[in-house]
């Protein structure tokens, strides 16, 4: 008796879904859409992002350097009309590169590990950043 009720329930659900599907089909088929209600979709192709001409190459110091002087020379190359910001935990220097894009500045560092951030900012506002970790130690290795 119990299995008969389960089978009849499944048959009733299947018939109900069939009737609902047929009713939905005829309802959708009876709808009419006028030409004023249709929308025109225009397809636009994506454009590629232009490559940036901004670059930043750091020649000195190399990352993870251990030095025995409190001053460090930071030098490198970028685009000629950029602004270079070099910052450490105790100082911040703003320099303009030469006509060929090269720059060089001496910054002061603290004892132990120091992070030197170098940022090049183009006149358009675009920027690129690099960082070097330098350790000052007076010990002889």
Q: Per-residue pLDDT tens for 42-101?
A: 888 887 777 778 899 999 999 888 888 888 999 999 999 999 999 988 889 999 999 999
91-127 per-position pLDDT tens digit: 899 999 999 999 999 998 888 899 999 999 999 889 9
Look at residue 37 in the predicted model and tell me its pLDDT.
Answer: 65
35: pLDDT strictly greater than 70? no
136: pLDDT strictly greater than 80? yes
41: pLDDT strictly greater than 90? no
Q: Helix or strand or coil: residue 35?
A: helix
**Kindly report the CA angle at 110 between 106 and 111, in degrees rounded to 5?**
130
């Amino acid at each position: 008796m119990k299995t008969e009720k389960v089978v009849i329930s499944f048959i009733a659900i299947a018939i109900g879904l069939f009737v609902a599907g047929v009713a939905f089909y005829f309802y959708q088929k009876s709808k009419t859409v006028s030409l004023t209600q249709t929308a025109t979709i225009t397809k636009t192709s994506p454009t590629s992002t232009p490559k940036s001409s901004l670059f930043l190459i750091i020649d000195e110091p190399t990352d993870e350097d251990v030095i025995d002087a409190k001053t460090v020379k930071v030098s490198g190359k970028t685009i000629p009309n950029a602004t270079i910001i070099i910052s450490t935990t105790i100082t911040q220097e703003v320099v303009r590169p030469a006509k060929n894009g090269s720059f060089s500045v001496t910054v002061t560092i603290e004892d132990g590990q120091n992070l030197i951030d170098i940022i090049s900012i183009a006149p358009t506002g675009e920027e690129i950043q690099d960082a070097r970790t330098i350790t000052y130690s007076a010990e002889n290795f």
